[in-house]
Amino acid sequence: MTATPNPAPHRGETVFIVDDDEAMRDSLTWLLEGNGYQVRSYSSAEQFLAAYDASQVSCLILDVRMPGMSGPELQERMIAENIDIPIVFITGHGDVPMAVSTMKRGAIDFIEKPFDESELRALVERMLQKARTDHSAAREQRAAKDLLGKLTTREQQVLERIVAGRLNKQIADDLGISIKTVEAHRANIMEKLNVNTVADLLRLALSRNS
């Protein structure tokens, strides 16, 4: 294998490798680090789970067959614990049907041993791109929830009706308040959520549940 130096390391992004084969871990680590990736490798699924940090953008290269918890069993555990990072499986010749079943549970892909270096690099970049997108969406969702948490109960009731497309008069009738009070609540909502248009307001309100 020949690693091509990458002058722009993927700072803050981690490629996890879980494989009981030390030579395979070393080979993958050398290849990926040579291409600018930050790598952390583990010899067992249990070690990975103990060390995993959800705050970083990451992906996982995972062996199918390992002593103790197997790759597919780790995938199931991650699903159960809401650990949602892109996974690619490394498989031996006889493991392809098992690998296909892991894709049905959300794995990005699988590669057979011996694998092609360029194919692996392309898969890792594809996984990290997905991880970046997912991480950004999750951050925006958390920020939206934090902002919406600043609203009073009455403001939340008004907002729910704005999102439902109700007019000020209809909202006033729904809540038994005056139109002027509805308008005041709308103004407070816009200010607290730091938005200037109804479109931005709807986008933020809906992003909480996206």
pLDDT, tens digit, 9 for 90 and up, residues 36-67: 999 999 999 999 999 998 888 999 999 988 89
Q: List the chain residues with pLDDT less than 50.
A: 1-8
Fold adopted by 13-138: Rossmann fold (3.40.50)
pLDDT at 15: 95
Cβ-based neighbour number of residue 67 at 10 Å: 9
Q: Where in the chain is the domain with CATH 3.40.50.2300?
A: 13-138
Tell how far CA 102 is from the center of its chain. Answer: 18
Query: How many of the other CB atoms lie within 10 Å of CB of 151?
Result: 17
Q: Do 34 and 97 contact (CB within 8 A), yes or no?
A: no
For β-strands 87-91 and 109-112, DSSP reports them as: parallel
Q: Which of 39, 171, 59, 37 is nearest to 106 (CA)?
A: 59
* Matching CATH number, 149-207, of 3.40.190.10, 2.40.50.140, 1.10.150.170, 1.10.10.10: 1.10.10.10
User: What pLDDT score does 209 carry?
Assistant: 61
CA distance from start to end of the chain: 42
Q: In this predicted structure, what is the pLDDT of residue 6?
A: 46
pLDDT of residue 43: 95
Hey, what amino acid is at 138? A
* DSSP label of 92: -
Predicted pLDDT at 3: 45
Domain(s) of CATH 1.10.10.10: residues in the chain: 149-207
